Amino acid sequence: MGHDAIFYRRVRSDRCVRVGVILEERSARPWHRAAVAAARGVDGVELDLVEPDRAPSALAGLACDVLIDLAEVACPIDPSLGVWRYRFGDGAPLAGGAAGTVARLCRITRDPDRVIVLHEGWYRARTINGWGTASVPDRVAPWCARVLRQILSGDAGIVDATPVSITGCALLEPPRHPEPAGGVIGDTVRSWLTRQRWSVGLLPFGVEDVLQRGRLPPPAWLIGQPADRFYADPFLLGVDAEDVRLLVEDYRYPSRSKGLSELRVRRDGTVLSARSRPDLPSRASYPFLLREADPRDGRARLYCLPETHRARRVSVFQCDEPSGMWTAQGDLMTDFPFVDSTLVEHDRKWWLFCTKQGDEDQTDLYVFFADTWRGPWQPHALNPVKSDTRSSRPAGALFSLGGAIYRPAQNCARRYGAGITINRLVDLSPTRFREEAVLALDPPAGTAWPDGIHTINSLGGVTVIDGLRVERRWGPAAWASAPQSPSQ
Protein backbone atom coordinates (compact mmCIF):
# COMPACT_ATOMS: atom_id res chain seq x y z
CA MET A 1 0.00 0.00 0.00
CA GLY A 2 1.57 3.31 -1.07
CA HIS A 3 1.18 6.25 1.28
CA ASP A 4 3.20 9.14 -0.16
CA ALA A 5 0.25 10.20 -2.29
CA ILE A 6 -2.28 10.28 0.55
CA PHE A 7 -0.88 12.78 3.03
CA TYR A 8 -4.11 14.72 2.53
CA ARG A 9 -6.54 11.84 2.27
CA ARG A 10 -9.94 13.01 1.18
CA VAL A 11 -12.99 12.40 3.35
CA ARG A 12 -15.95 11.27 1.30
CA SER A 13 -19.08 13.18 2.24
CA ASP A 14 -22.49 13.99 0.79
CA ARG A 15 -22.27 17.42 2.38
CA CYS A 16 -21.06 20.49 0.57
CA VAL A 17 -19.14 23.39 2.09
CA ARG A 18 -19.16 26.61 0.08
CA VAL A 19 -15.86 28.42 0.44
CA GLY A 20 -15.05 31.97 -0.55
CA VAL A 21 -11.39 33.03 -0.84
CA ILE A 22 -10.14 36.61 -1.00
CA LEU A 23 -6.98 36.48 -3.09
CA GLU A 24 -5.09 38.81 -5.42
CA GLU A 25 -4.45 36.24 -8.14
CA ARG A 26 -1.87 38.21 -10.12
CA SER A 27 0.40 38.99 -7.16
CA ALA A 28 -0.48 36.18 -4.75
CA ARG A 29 2.32 34.57 -2.78
CA PRO A 30 3.08 30.99 -3.83
CA TRP A 31 1.95 29.60 -0.48
CA HIS A 32 -1.39 31.41 -0.84
CA ARG A 33 -1.88 29.72 -4.19
CA ALA A 34 -0.97 26.39 -2.60
CA ALA A 35 -3.55 26.96 0.15
CA VAL A 36 -6.26 27.62 -2.44
CA ALA A 37 -5.28 24.59 -4.51
CA ALA A 38 -5.38 22.31 -1.46
CA ALA A 39 -8.79 23.62 -0.38
CA ARG A 40 -10.18 23.28 -3.90
CA GLY A 41 -9.03 19.64 -3.96
CA VAL A 42 -11.16 18.60 -0.97
CA ASP A 43 -14.18 16.53 -1.94
CA GLY A 44 -17.34 18.35 -0.94
CA VAL A 45 -15.91 21.87 -1.29
CA GLU A 46 -17.20 24.47 -3.74
CA LEU A 47 -14.76 27.37 -3.97
CA ASP A 48 -15.07 30.90 -5.36
CA LEU A 49 -12.27 33.45 -5.62
CA VAL A 50 -12.83 37.13 -4.90
CA GLU A 51 -10.33 39.85 -5.83
CA PRO A 52 -9.48 42.20 -2.92
CA ASP A 53 -10.39 45.37 -4.81
CA ARG A 54 -13.84 43.92 -5.49
CA ALA A 55 -14.30 42.41 -2.05
CA PRO A 56 -16.96 44.73 -0.55
CA SER A 57 -19.38 44.48 -3.47
CA ALA A 58 -18.56 40.89 -4.45
CA LEU A 59 -18.81 39.56 -0.91
CA ALA A 60 -22.17 41.19 -0.32
CA GLY A 61 -23.72 38.84 -2.84
CA LEU A 62 -21.54 35.80 -2.10
CA ALA A 63 -23.29 32.83 -0.51
CA CYS A 64 -20.59 30.94 1.39
CA ASP A 65 -20.20 28.92 4.58
CA VAL A 66 -16.63 30.02 5.23
CA LEU A 67 -14.49 32.89 3.98
CA ILE A 68 -10.70 32.44 3.77
CA ASP A 69 -9.12 35.88 3.81
CA LEU A 70 -5.64 35.79 2.27
CA ALA A 71 -5.54 39.52 1.52
CA GLU A 72 -6.33 41.03 4.96
CA VAL A 73 -9.32 43.13 3.87
CA ALA A 74 -12.42 44.28 5.74
CA CYS A 75 -15.04 41.54 5.55
CA PRO A 76 -18.65 42.78 5.46
CA ILE A 77 -20.12 39.29 5.92
CA ASP A 78 -20.07 36.75 8.73
CA PRO A 79 -20.47 33.22 7.26
CA SER A 80 -21.76 30.42 9.47
CA LEU A 81 -18.29 28.82 9.69
CA GLY A 82 -16.53 32.14 10.04
CA VAL A 83 -13.76 34.20 8.44
CA TRP A 84 -10.35 32.47 8.54
CA ARG A 85 -6.90 34.06 8.55
CA TYR A 86 -3.33 32.90 9.16
CA ARG A 87 -1.29 34.36 12.00
CA PHE A 88 2.35 33.92 13.10
CA GLY A 89 4.50 34.74 16.11
CA ASP A 90 7.83 34.25 17.84
CA GLY A 91 7.81 30.72 19.21
CA ALA A 92 10.58 31.23 21.80
CA PRO A 93 8.27 32.17 24.73
CA LEU A 94 6.37 28.91 24.19
CA ALA A 95 9.49 26.72 24.09
CA GLY A 96 11.72 27.79 26.94
CA GLY A 97 13.52 30.32 24.76
CA ALA A 98 14.22 27.96 21.83
CA ALA A 99 14.19 29.75 18.49
CA GLY A 100 11.13 28.97 16.43
CA THR A 101 7.82 30.12 14.95
CA VAL A 102 4.31 29.54 16.20
CA ALA A 103 1.69 29.47 13.44
CA ARG A 104 -2.09 29.45 13.62
CA LEU A 105 -5.08 29.24 11.33
CA CYS A 106 -7.69 31.34 13.10
CA ARG A 107 -11.36 32.20 12.92
CA ILE A 108 -11.67 35.91 13.68
CA THR A 109 -14.22 37.13 16.22
CA ARG A 110 -15.91 40.44 16.93
CA ASP A 111 -13.19 41.10 19.50
CA PRO A 112 -10.09 42.12 17.48
CA ASP A 113 -7.83 40.84 20.26
CA ARG A 114 -9.25 37.32 20.41
CA VAL A 115 -9.53 34.49 17.88
CA ILE A 116 -10.68 30.88 17.68
CA VAL A 117 -7.72 28.66 16.84
CA LEU A 118 -8.65 26.12 14.16
CA HIS A 119 -5.18 24.57 13.86
CA GLU A 120 -1.72 25.50 15.09
CA GLY A 121 1.88 24.35 15.00
CA TRP A 122 5.37 25.14 16.25
CA TYR A 123 8.37 25.06 13.90
CA ARG A 124 12.04 25.21 14.92
CA ALA A 125 14.34 27.85 13.46
CA ARG A 126 17.78 26.90 12.18
CA THR A 127 20.43 27.17 14.88
CA ILE A 128 23.89 25.77 15.58
CA ASN A 129 22.16 22.82 17.26
CA GLY A 130 20.04 21.74 14.31
CA TRP A 131 18.30 22.58 11.08
CA GLY A 132 14.98 24.37 11.02
CA THR A 133 11.90 24.56 8.82
CA ALA A 134 12.91 26.11 5.52
CA SER A 135 9.54 27.78 4.88
CA VAL A 136 6.84 27.89 7.53
CA PRO A 137 4.26 29.34 5.07
CA ASP A 138 4.72 26.35 2.76
CA ARG A 139 4.11 24.00 5.70
CA VAL A 140 0.90 25.74 6.83
CA ALA A 141 -0.61 26.21 3.37
CA PRO A 142 -2.57 22.88 3.54
CA TRP A 143 -4.20 23.78 6.86
CA CYS A 144 -7.36 25.28 5.34
CA ALA A 145 -7.93 22.03 3.47
CA ARG A 146 -7.25 20.07 6.65
CA VAL A 147 -9.88 21.96 8.65
CA LEU A 148 -12.38 21.70 5.80
CA ARG A 149 -11.92 17.90 5.79
CA GLN A 150 -12.41 17.93 9.55
CA ILE A 151 -15.69 19.84 9.17
CA LEU A 152 -16.91 17.55 6.38
CA SER A 153 -16.21 14.52 8.58
CA GLY A 154 -18.69 15.89 11.13
CA ASP A 155 -16.39 17.84 13.46
CA ALA A 156 -17.80 21.31 12.79
CA GLY A 157 -17.61 22.18 16.49
CA ILE A 158 -14.00 23.27 16.08
CA VAL A 159 -15.13 26.60 14.62
CA ASP A 160 -16.98 27.39 17.85
CA ALA A 161 -14.18 26.70 20.31
CA THR A 162 -13.33 29.12 23.10
CA PRO A 163 -11.59 32.26 21.78
CA VAL A 164 -8.04 32.98 22.95
CA SER A 165 -5.85 36.07 22.96
CA ILE A 166 -3.85 36.90 19.83
CA THR A 167 -0.97 38.13 21.99
CA GLY A 168 2.24 36.57 20.76
CA CYS A 169 0.72 35.34 17.49
CA ALA A 170 -0.59 38.34 15.57
CA LEU A 171 1.93 38.72 12.73
CA LEU A 172 0.88 38.41 9.09
CA GLU A 173 4.19 36.73 8.18
CA PRO A 174 6.58 34.49 10.17
CA PRO A 175 9.22 36.41 12.15
CA ARG A 176 12.77 36.41 10.86
CA HIS A 177 15.37 34.42 12.80
CA PRO A 178 19.11 35.10 12.46
CA GLU A 179 21.14 32.45 10.69
CA PRO A 180 23.79 30.67 12.79
CA ALA A 181 27.34 31.95 12.47
CA GLY A 182 29.35 30.41 9.66
CA GLY A 183 26.44 28.82 7.81
CA VAL A 184 27.18 25.43 6.28
CA ILE A 185 30.92 25.81 6.84
CA GLY A 186 30.30 26.55 10.52
CA ASP A 187 28.11 23.47 10.81
CA THR A 188 30.85 21.34 9.26
CA VAL A 189 33.49 22.70 11.64
CA ARG A 190 31.26 22.16 14.68
CA SER A 191 30.48 18.58 13.64
CA TRP A 192 34.21 17.93 13.21
CA LEU A 193 35.06 19.29 16.65
CA THR A 194 32.22 17.70 18.63
CA ARG A 195 30.08 14.60 18.62
CA GLN A 196 26.98 13.31 20.35
CA ARG A 197 27.23 10.42 22.80
CA TRP A 198 24.14 8.73 24.25
CA SER A 199 23.88 6.40 27.21
CA VAL A 200 21.11 4.57 29.06
CA GLY A 201 19.83 5.20 32.58
CA LEU A 202 17.70 3.00 34.89
CA LEU A 203 15.11 4.17 37.41
CA PRO A 204 13.65 1.81 40.07
CA PHE A 205 9.99 2.66 39.44
CA GLY A 206 7.42 2.69 36.62
CA VAL A 207 6.73 5.45 34.12
CA GLU A 208 3.42 6.13 35.87
CA ASP A 209 5.45 7.22 38.91
CA VAL A 210 7.43 9.56 36.67
CA LEU A 211 4.18 11.21 35.62
CA GLN A 212 3.07 11.62 39.21
CA ARG A 213 6.48 12.91 40.36
CA GLY A 214 6.59 15.42 37.51
CA ARG A 215 10.33 15.09 37.01
CA LEU A 216 13.18 12.64 36.45
CA PRO A 217 15.54 11.98 39.39
CA PRO A 218 19.13 10.99 38.54
CA PRO A 219 19.10 7.41 37.21
CA ALA A 220 21.75 4.71 37.42
CA TRP A 221 23.66 5.33 34.20
CA LEU A 222 25.46 2.52 32.40
CA ILE A 223 28.81 1.48 33.83
CA GLY A 224 30.97 -0.20 31.22
CA GLN A 225 29.71 1.39 28.03
CA PRO A 226 32.44 1.07 25.37
CA ALA A 227 34.20 4.30 24.46
CA ASP A 228 33.89 3.69 20.73
CA ARG A 229 30.08 3.76 20.58
CA PHE A 230 26.87 5.03 22.06
CA TYR A 231 23.71 3.27 23.21
CA ALA A 232 20.28 4.88 22.73
CA ASP A 233 16.57 4.11 22.22
CA PRO A 234 16.30 1.56 25.09
CA PHE A 235 13.37 -0.87 25.19
CA LEU A 236 12.98 -3.45 27.98
CA LEU A 237 13.07 -7.13 27.01
CA GLY A 238 12.80 -8.42 30.57
CA VAL A 239 13.19 -7.49 34.23
CA ASP A 240 14.58 -9.78 36.94
CA ALA A 241 15.29 -9.21 40.62
CA GLU A 242 18.97 -8.41 39.99
CA ASP A 243 19.23 -7.24 36.39
CA VAL A 244 17.36 -6.18 33.27
CA ARG A 245 17.66 -7.01 29.56
CA LEU A 246 17.50 -4.23 27.02
CA LEU A 247 17.31 -3.87 23.26
CA VAL A 248 19.09 -0.68 22.16
CA GLU A 249 20.46 1.18 19.19
CA ASP A 250 24.23 0.60 19.03
CA TYR A 251 26.15 3.22 17.05
CA ARG A 252 29.87 2.64 16.35
CA TYR A 253 31.98 5.76 15.82
CA PRO A 254 34.90 4.17 13.90
CA SER A 255 32.70 2.58 11.22
CA ARG A 256 29.84 5.11 11.42
CA SER A 257 27.47 2.17 11.48
CA LYS A 258 24.51 1.35 13.65
CA GLY A 259 22.44 -1.66 14.49
CA LEU A 260 20.60 -3.22 17.41
CA SER A 261 22.25 -4.85 20.42
CA GLU A 262 20.99 -6.72 23.46
CA LEU A 263 22.34 -5.64 26.85
CA ARG A 264 22.13 -7.36 30.22
CA VAL A 265 22.53 -4.73 32.91
CA ARG A 266 22.51 -4.78 36.71
CA ARG A 267 20.11 -2.41 38.36
CA ASP A 268 23.05 -0.24 39.39
CA GLY A 269 23.87 0.24 35.69
CA THR A 270 26.78 -2.21 35.40
CA VAL A 271 26.83 -3.75 31.93
CA LEU A 272 27.12 -7.53 32.34
CA SER A 273 27.00 -8.43 28.66
CA ALA A 274 26.41 -6.86 25.28
CA ARG A 275 25.88 -8.65 22.00
CA SER A 276 24.89 -7.50 18.54
CA ARG A 277 21.67 -8.84 17.04
CA PRO A 278 22.42 -9.78 13.41
CA ASP A 279 19.03 -11.52 13.31
CA LEU A 280 17.46 -8.02 13.34
CA PRO A 281 17.93 -5.50 10.49
CA SER A 282 21.20 -3.60 10.10
CA ARG A 283 21.16 0.21 10.19
CA ALA A 284 18.16 -0.04 12.51
CA SER A 285 17.19 1.95 15.61
CA TYR A 286 14.18 2.47 17.94
CA PRO A 287 13.40 -1.25 18.46
CA PHE A 288 9.74 -0.90 19.51
CA LEU A 289 8.54 -4.02 21.36
CA LEU A 290 5.02 -5.41 21.24
CA ARG A 291 3.73 -8.14 23.58
CA GLU A 292 0.71 -10.26 22.71
CA ALA A 293 -0.89 -13.28 24.35
CA ASP A 294 -1.13 -16.23 21.94
CA PRO A 295 -4.86 -17.18 21.75
CA ARG A 296 -3.90 -20.85 21.35
CA ASP A 297 -2.03 -21.31 24.62
CA GLY A 298 -2.16 -17.91 26.35
CA ARG A 299 1.64 -17.59 26.29
CA ALA A 300 3.08 -14.13 25.74
CA ARG A 301 4.65 -13.55 22.34
CA LEU A 302 7.25 -10.83 21.89
CA TYR A 303 7.61 -8.87 18.65
CA CYS A 304 10.04 -6.17 17.56
CA LEU A 305 9.25 -3.43 15.03
CA PRO A 306 12.61 -1.69 14.48
CA GLU A 307 12.92 1.67 12.77
CA THR A 308 14.25 1.19 9.22
CA HIS A 309 13.08 4.27 7.34
CA ARG A 310 15.56 3.68 4.50
CA ALA A 311 13.70 0.47 3.65
CA ARG A 312 10.40 2.42 3.58
CA ARG A 313 8.58 -0.24 5.57
CA VAL A 314 7.54 -1.34 9.05
CA SER A 315 8.76 -4.92 9.46
CA VAL A 316 7.87 -7.35 12.25
CA PHE A 317 10.23 -9.82 13.96
CA GLN A 318 9.16 -12.44 16.52
CA CYS A 319 11.35 -13.59 19.39
CA ASP A 320 11.65 -17.34 19.62
CA GLU A 321 11.62 -18.69 23.18
CA PRO A 322 13.80 -19.92 24.73
CA SER A 323 16.59 -19.33 22.19
CA GLY A 324 15.99 -15.58 22.06
CA MET A 325 16.49 -15.53 18.29
CA TRP A 326 14.44 -13.18 16.14
CA THR A 327 12.69 -14.33 12.96
CA ALA A 328 11.10 -12.13 10.29
CA GLN A 329 7.29 -12.16 10.20
CA GLY A 330 6.62 -9.84 7.26
CA ASP A 331 5.69 -6.19 6.88
CA LEU A 332 2.86 -4.19 8.41
CA MET A 333 3.14 -1.37 5.86
CA THR A 334 5.40 -0.33 3.00
CA ASP A 335 6.10 2.60 0.65
CA PHE A 336 6.50 5.24 3.35
CA PRO A 337 9.65 6.31 5.26
CA PHE A 338 8.32 5.48 8.74
CA VAL A 339 10.32 6.96 11.63
CA ASP A 340 9.99 5.59 15.19
CA SER A 341 6.77 3.64 14.63
CA THR A 342 4.90 3.14 17.91
CA LEU A 343 1.73 1.04 18.31
CA VAL A 344 -1.09 1.07 20.84
CA GLU A 345 -4.55 -0.50 21.12
CA HIS A 346 -7.34 1.94 21.93
CA ASP A 347 -11.12 1.92 21.55
CA ARG A 348 -11.18 -1.44 19.72
CA LYS A 349 -8.65 -0.32 17.12
CA TRP A 350 -4.90 -0.35 16.74
CA TRP A 351 -3.03 2.89 16.14
CA LEU A 352 0.44 3.47 14.74
CA PHE A 353 2.17 6.79 15.44
CA CYS A 354 5.26 7.87 13.52
CA THR A 355 6.96 10.73 11.74
CA LYS A 356 8.15 10.79 8.14
CA GLN A 357 11.85 10.85 7.35
CA GLY A 358 12.81 14.18 5.80
CA ASP A 359 12.88 17.87 6.64
CA GLU A 360 10.03 17.60 9.14
CA ASP A 361 10.80 14.23 10.79
CA GLN A 362 10.92 15.99 14.17
CA THR A 363 7.77 18.06 13.56
CA ASP A 364 5.01 16.28 11.60
CA LEU A 365 3.15 13.43 13.31
CA TYR A 366 1.38 10.78 11.22
CA VAL A 367 -1.20 8.27 12.44
CA PHE A 368 -2.43 5.04 10.87
CA PHE A 369 -5.16 2.70 12.15
CA ALA A 370 -6.35 -0.90 11.76
CA ASP A 371 -8.75 -3.37 13.33
CA THR A 372 -5.83 -5.62 14.37
CA TRP A 373 -2.17 -4.78 14.72
CA ARG A 374 -1.37 -7.01 11.79
CA GLY A 375 -3.44 -4.77 9.50
CA PRO A 376 -4.57 -3.85 6.95
CA TRP A 377 -3.67 -0.29 7.91
CA GLN A 378 -5.26 2.96 6.76
CA PRO A 379 -3.96 6.55 7.03
CA HIS A 380 -5.68 9.00 9.34
CA ALA A 381 -7.93 11.46 7.53
CA LEU A 382 -5.97 14.46 8.90
CA ASN A 383 -2.39 13.33 8.27
CA PRO A 384 -0.15 14.85 9.36
CA VAL A 385 -2.34 15.16 12.44
CA LYS A 386 0.08 17.48 14.23
CA SER A 387 2.98 19.79 13.38
CA ASP A 388 4.90 20.66 16.51
CA THR A 389 8.65 20.21 16.99
CA ARG A 390 8.08 20.31 20.76
CA SER A 391 5.88 17.23 21.01
CA SER A 392 5.40 15.15 17.84
CA ARG A 393 8.12 12.54 17.25
CA PRO A 394 7.53 9.34 19.30
CA ALA A 395 9.77 8.84 22.36
CA GLY A 396 8.67 5.44 23.62
CA ALA A 397 5.65 3.23 24.21
CA LEU A 398 2.31 4.74 25.18
CA PHE A 399 1.00 3.98 28.68
CA SER A 400 -2.25 4.35 30.60
CA LEU A 401 -2.99 5.84 34.00
CA GLY A 402 -6.35 6.54 35.59
CA GLY A 403 -8.23 5.64 32.43
CA ALA A 404 -6.24 8.06 30.26
CA ILE A 405 -3.63 7.21 27.62
CA TYR A 406 -0.35 9.08 27.52
CA ARG A 407 2.05 9.37 24.58
CA PRO A 408 5.71 10.25 25.15
CA ALA A 409 7.13 12.47 22.41
CA GLN A 410 10.46 14.13 21.75
CA ASN A 411 10.88 17.83 22.45
CA CYS A 412 13.23 18.90 19.66
CA ALA A 413 12.68 22.65 20.03
CA ARG A 414 16.26 23.34 21.12
CA ARG A 415 17.94 20.41 19.38
CA TYR A 416 17.12 16.86 18.33
CA GLY A 417 16.20 14.86 21.43
CA ALA A 418 16.62 17.74 23.89
CA GLY A 419 13.76 16.56 26.11
CA ILE A 420 10.52 14.60 26.34
CA THR A 421 6.94 15.85 26.33
CA ILE A 422 4.26 13.59 27.81
CA ASN A 423 1.00 14.09 25.89
CA ARG A 424 -2.45 12.97 27.00
CA LEU A 425 -4.70 11.70 24.21
CA VAL A 426 -7.94 13.67 24.24
CA ASP A 427 -9.69 12.61 21.02
CA LEU A 428 -8.60 9.81 18.70
CA SER A 429 -10.69 8.36 15.89
CA PRO A 430 -10.17 7.75 12.17
CA THR A 431 -11.26 11.35 11.49
CA ARG A 432 -10.26 13.17 14.68
CA PHE A 433 -7.09 13.74 16.64
CA ARG A 434 -6.28 15.89 19.62
CA GLU A 435 -3.77 15.56 22.42
CA GLU A 436 -2.50 17.96 25.04
CA ALA A 437 0.93 18.26 26.63
CA VAL A 438 0.80 17.54 30.36
CA LEU A 439 4.46 17.22 31.39
CA ALA A 440 7.87 18.33 30.13
CA LEU A 441 10.81 16.10 31.10
CA ASP A 442 14.31 17.54 30.94
CA PRO A 443 17.58 15.69 31.56
CA PRO A 444 17.90 14.93 35.29
CA ALA A 445 19.60 17.68 37.27
CA GLY A 446 23.30 17.24 37.91
CA THR A 447 23.65 14.37 35.46
CA ALA A 448 26.74 13.59 33.40
CA TRP A 449 24.38 13.42 30.42
CA PRO A 450 22.94 16.96 30.47
CA ASP A 451 22.19 17.72 26.82
CA GLY A 452 19.19 15.59 25.98
CA ILE A 453 16.76 12.76 26.65
CA HIS A 454 14.58 11.28 23.91
CA THR A 455 13.33 7.81 24.92
CA ILE A 456 11.42 6.55 27.96
CA ASN A 457 10.01 3.04 28.51
CA SER A 458 8.86 1.00 31.47
CA LEU A 459 8.36 -2.66 32.41
CA GLY A 460 8.06 -4.52 35.70
CA GLY A 461 8.62 -1.50 37.94
CA VAL A 462 11.71 -0.31 36.05
CA THR A 463 11.93 2.73 33.78
CA VAL A 464 14.72 3.25 31.26
CA ILE A 465 15.71 6.50 29.60
CA ASP A 466 18.59 7.61 27.43
CA GLY A 467 20.78 10.67 27.95
CA LEU A 468 22.86 12.82 25.64
CA ARG A 469 26.25 14.42 26.15
CA VAL A 470 27.77 16.66 23.46
CA GLU A 471 31.50 16.17 23.85
CA ARG A 472 34.77 17.08 22.19
CA ARG A 473 35.68 14.76 19.36
CA TRP A 474 39.43 15.21 19.80
CA GLY A 475 41.81 15.48 22.73
CA PRO A 476 41.94 13.91 26.19
CA ALA A 477 38.58 15.31 27.28
CA ALA A 478 36.84 13.27 24.60
CA TRP A 479 37.79 10.00 26.29
CA ALA A 480 38.48 10.90 29.92
CA SER A 481 34.95 10.15 31.16
CA ALA A 482 34.20 7.26 28.82
CA PRO A 483 33.71 4.00 30.78
CA GLN A 484 35.79 0.93 29.99
CA SER A 485 34.46 -1.66 27.57
CA PRO A 486 32.67 -4.70 28.96
CA SER A 487 33.47 -8.19 27.79
CA GLN A 488 31.58 -9.00 24.63
pLDDT tens column, 259-286: 999 999 999 999 999 999 999 999 999 9
Identify the pLDDT of residue 63. Answer: 85
- Ranges of CATH 2.115.10 domains, the chain: 192-480
Pairing of strands 285-293, 271-276: unpaired
Identify the pLDDT of residue 14. Answer: 54
342 within 8 A of 397, measured Cβ to Cβ: yes
- Ranges of CATH 3.40.50 domains, the chain: 4-165
Q: Is the pLDDT of residue 240 over 50?
A: yes
Identify the pLDDT of residue 55. Answer: 66
What does pTM read for this prediction? 0.92
What would the mean pLDDT of 311-323 be, rounded to a whole number?
A: 94
Identify the pLDDT of residue 475. Answer: 57
Q: What is the number of alpha carbons within 13 Å of residue 22 lying toward its C-beta?
A: 26
Architecture of domain 4-165: 3-Layer(aba) Sandwich (3.40)
Could you give the CA distance from residue 82 to residue 352 in angstroms, rounded to a whole number? 34
DSSP 372: S
What would the mean pLDDT of 143-165 be, rounded to a whole number?
A: 95
65-89, pLDDT tens digit by residue?
Answer: 999 999 988 888 889 999 999 999 9
45-58, pLDDT tens digit by residue?
Answer: 999 998 887 767 76
Identify the pLDDT of residue 467. Answer: 98
Identify the pLDDT of residue 325. Answer: 96
Sign of CA pseudo-dihedral 331, 260, 190, 130 = positive
Burial (Cβ within 10 Å: 0-12, 13-18, ≥19) of residue 396:
buried
Q: Is the pLDDT of residue 8 over 60?
A: no
Cα Rg, the chain, nearest whole Å:
24
Tell me what the pLDDT averaged over the chain comes to.
91
428-482, pLDDT tens digit by residue?
Answer: 999 999 999 999 999 998 889 999 999 999 999 999 999 999 998 875 444 333 3
How many contiguous H segments (helices) and E segments (strands) does the chain have?
7, 28
Burial (Cβ within 10 Å: 0-12, 13-18, ≥19) of residue 60:
exposed
Task: Specify the CATH number of the domain 192-480.
Answer: 2.115.10
359-417, pLDDT tens digit by residue?
Answer: 999 999 999 999 999 999 999 999 999 999 999 999 999 999 999 999 999 999 999 99
Could you give the CA distance from residue 175 to residue 101 in angstroms, rounded to a whole number? 7
Burial (Cβ within 10 Å: 0-12, 13-18, ≥19) of residue 445:
exposed
Identify the pLDDT of residue 192. Answer: 81
What would the mean pLDDT of 176-197 be, rounded to a whole number?
A: 81
Model confidence at 293, in pLDDT bands (50, 70, 90)? confident
Q: Is the pLDDT of residue 59 over 90?
A: no
Burial (Cβ within 10 Å: 0-12, 13-18, ≥19) of residue 346:
middle
Could you give the CA distance from residue 421 to residue 433 in angstroms, rounded to a whole number? 17
